[in-house]
Amino acid sequence: MGGIIMGILYVFGVPIGLGGHFRSALAMVKYISKKGIKFFAIAPGGSQEMLEEYRAEGCDMIIASELSRFNPFLNLSSTKAIIIECRKRSIDIIHSQDFRSLYPSYLAATVLKKGFVFTRAGRHVVQHIPPRNVEIVVFSEELLDGMIRQFNLSKDNISLIRARIDLSCYSKKSVSGDFAEKYHLPTSGKRIVMAMRLIKAKRPWLQTMLRLAEHLSRENMLSNLIIAGDGPLSAELKRQADRINNICGKKYIHFIGPIFNIKEMNQLYHYADLVIGHGRGILEAMACRKPVVVLGENGRGEVVDENTVSDVAKSNFSGRHLRHKDVTFMELLSTIKAILQDEVLPKDLGDFSYRYVKSEMDAEIGASQLYDVYSRAINRTLSWRDCLRWHTATLLNNSGKLFRVHP
């Protein structure tokens, strides 16, 4: 096996929509396609806005409802759909983008004798056994160390690629009046922005944000808090925000819904005086020269600067590093107040933000690293024995018969 890479198929097990991993994959498409490689993506669906973002970068989108049927052992309908598309479109590399797509993607690559790559983008605990003897990509040292320790994987099989922010998208840009009008954004006062999915898993961070808003509004420190996102918690969080707004006698908290368009997200970050949250969202804000505060659980949080960024980055900007720090909610509140009150500090923090993202997170750098992974994958021979042993171990692990098996 080997040769020139002509076509790559990205496989998603969930609909393409809000979420940092979809943006990271899109950035890789943009830069690697410059090498003359054709990209395709197959998914069970997705928002039209995000699908168009991929198409705009020349990535052909394929909708396959079969991929929504998650089965960690026999997912033959999904495997068949992937095989059909690979044969139709002359695919050389199959790149599974999440655990839900891993099972059919790995089997399809083994059947077709294609190059195979698997990305584990987030979190720090791996509940599913990763296959051995394939190329695996992770975004953080925390996950790299955890996967090697938990499953005794070889470092030769895992690549740490952190650089995934497209700086050409998040460049300096003024906020248009049309954008502010479209999202009913206030045009005066200090503005704190959070971009986050309004889902159960994000509840601790969202609750901290509302708690901060309540304290700041009582002290006349907060003019506006803007939360961009959507999800099942939307109605509940809006009721809490209405209560806070009513107590203060002014609409401090604004929910503006989801923003899919990258150009609009760029404007939202430039609109902000301070961005608070975790994950890819604060990296994008840093690319826009904004001061950022990373949130953890239980009301913890800290500003991202030269003293903290190493720990923040190790846990993939998730805020998990704060579990090991004695940082109280009141200290977090004081940090935010200091940024809002200072005239010089926000610019200094913003300048640091940009320097860091430029040197450590530029997607053009990450795309070059990922291309090297593809070059290794196309020359790696997949083994039927490895594939079947892994699927069997996965079945036993998921059925509860065996807690941990190394395939």
Q: Model-level pTM greater than 0.85? A: yes
**403, pLDDT greater than 60:** no
321-340: average pLDDT: 91
Q: What is the DSSP string of 136-155?
A: EEES-HHHHHHHHHHH---G
Comparing C-alpha atoms, which of 188, 340, 194 is closest to residue 255? Answer: 194
pLDDT at 123: 67
- Whether 406 is in a domain gets the answer no
Cα 27 from Cα 75, distance rounded (Å): 29
Whether the CB-CB separation of 122 and 197 falls below 8 Å is answered with no
Lowest mean pLDDT among 30-34, 60-64, 121-125, 281-285: 121-125
Instruction: Kindly state whether residue 27 falls inside one of the protein's structural domains.
Output: yes
> How high is the pLDDT of residue 78?
93
Residues 138 and 194 in one domain: no
Which helix (DSSP H) or strand (DSSP E) does residue 393 occupy? helix 384-398
Whether the pLDDT of residue 152 is over 90: the answer is no
Rounded Cα distance between 11 and 98, Å, is 8
Task: Determine the average pLDDT of the residues in 208-222.
Answer: 81
Residues 354 and 255 both lie in one domain: yes
Q: How many domains does the chain have?
A: 2
Distance CA 114, CA 86 (A): 9
Residues 41 and 77 in one domain: yes
95 three-state secondary structure: strand
Q: Within a domain: residue 2?
A: no
Question: Rounded to 10 degrees, what is the CA torsion of 357, 363, 366, 368?
Answer: -130
C-alpha–C-alpha distance, residues 244 and 26, integer Å: 38
**How much is the pLDDT for 404?**
41
Residue 170 lies in a domain: no
* CATH number of domain containing 282: 3.40.50.2000
pLDDT score recorded for residue 213: 87
* Nearest-angstrom CA–CA distance, 393 and 364: 37
Same-domain check for residues 96 and 145 = yes
**Do 180 and 191 meet the contact criterion of CB atoms below 8 Å apart?**
no
pLDDT value, residue 73: 57
Mean pLDDT of the chain: 89
Q: Identify whether residues 121 and 30 lie together within a single domain.
A: yes
Are 204 and 250 within one domain?
yes
335 and 195 part of one domain = yes
Quick one: average pLDDT of 356-375? 97
Nearest to 362 by CA among 139, 121, 161, 163: 163
Q: Interior CA angle at 197 toward 204 and 120, to 5°? A: 90
Nearest-angstrom CA–CA distance, 170 and 196: 17
Given this model, what pLDDT does residue 401 score? 41
Average pLDDT over residues 65-85: 84
Task: Tell whether 129 is covered by a domain.
Answer: yes
Structural domain harbouring 24 = 7-164+362-398
Does one domain contain both 356 and 366?
A: no
172 inside domain: no
Asked if residue 76 is part of any domain, the answer here is yes
Query: In this structure, what token pair is assigned to residue 249?
Result: 């006698």
Same domain? For 350 and 270 the reply is: yes
Tell whether 38 and 95 lie within a shared domain.
yes
How would DSSP label each residue in 31-60?
A: HHGGGT-EEEEEES-B-HHHHHHHHHTTPE
Q: Is 299 inside any structural domain?
A: yes
Cα Rg for the chain, rounded, in angstroms? 22
Q: What angle do CA 251, 200, 54 make, to 5 degrees?
A: 90
